[in-house]
Chain A
């Protein structure tokens, strides 16, 4: 089984930088995903890490440390539209074509003007 922890809520100011942490425990790690989800809408893919280090994609970056079971999502130059829930999801080593994800409970980010 897996255990994924992330903070429930965070608040930040427009234009600032925010870091959302995620810790996980898994028996066979095979990748970590970050998704953004606005209320009542579908999760949308933000980033993927399978090796240690930083992946940068515009205003969003994601970091992974497999030895520590730790990842973070960094959002720069925050905009009001970034107010959403951010979901950390872990994939275990697949068995055949099994590829299911286990999601954390999500971090609700509120961006204030």
Chain B
């Protein structure tokens, strides 16, 4: 158990709908990262938040947005869902300090199925 929690574990919805995925980082970690993993693509970085502010952005679609709240939990919002959005969505967290390691620890993921 990494200490990172994600809910829900599974989500099944229809095209055109909107969903929200939730992540709570490990105790003490200030940064949250969101990744998407589909069968034909590897683990793709979407976005990073640090202490409530966006810090880095990957190939995140405009239909997707995220935020990090004062208690450091984060939500990933996916709207106007398409079949191709079906994937595993992982959240990871790290401390982000001057230490070089700054390992990212991953949550168990949310499996999204769009029908």
- What is the CB-to-nearest-CB distance from A107 to chain B, in angstroms, rounded to a whole number? 11
Known: A42-B109, A45-B103, A45-B105. A100 touches B42 (CB 8 A): no
Chain B CB within 8 A of A80 CB: no
The number of chain B residues with a CB under 8 A from chain A is 29
Which of B42, B101, B111 contacts A103, CB < 8 Å?
Answer: B42
The number of chain A residues with a CB under 8 A from chain B is 26
Chain A CB within 8 A of B107 CB: yes
Dominant secondary structure of chain B at its interface with chain A: strand
- Interface segment, one of B68-76, B79-87, B88-96: B88-96
Report Cα–Cα, A53/B29, bound state, in Å: 29
Which of A96, A102, A104 contacts B55, CB < 8 Å?
Answer: A96
Chain A CB within 8 A of B43 CB: yes
Chain B CB within 8 A of A50 CB: yes
Chain B neighbourhood of A22, CB < 8 A: none
| A57-113 contacts to B (CB < 8 Å) | 87, 89, 95-106
Chain B CB within 8 A of A44 CB: yes
A31:B100 contact, CB within 8 angstroms: yes
Report Cα–Cα, A95/B103, bound state, in Å: 17
| B22-70 contacts to A (CB < 8 Å) | 31, 33, 35, 42-45, 48, 50-51, 55-56, 58
Could you tell me which B residues sit within 8 Å of A by CB distance?
A: 2, 31, 33, 35, 42-45, 48, 50-51, 55-56, 58, 88, 90, 94, 96, 100-109, 111
Pairs of residues from A and B, 7 with the lowest C-beta to C-beta distance, nearest first: A98-B56, A42-B106, A103-B43, A105-B42, A97-B50, A100-B56, A98-B55
Could you tell me which A residues sit within 8 Å of B by CB distance?
A: 30-31, 33, 35, 40-45, 48, 50, 87, 89, 95-106
Could you list 17 A-B pairs, sorted by A, with CB under 8 Å? A31-B100, A42-B2, A42-B107, A42-B109, A44-B106, A45-B105, A89-B43, A95-B56, A97-B51, A98-B50, A99-B31, A99-B55, A99-B102, A101-B45, A103-B42, A103-B45, A106-B43
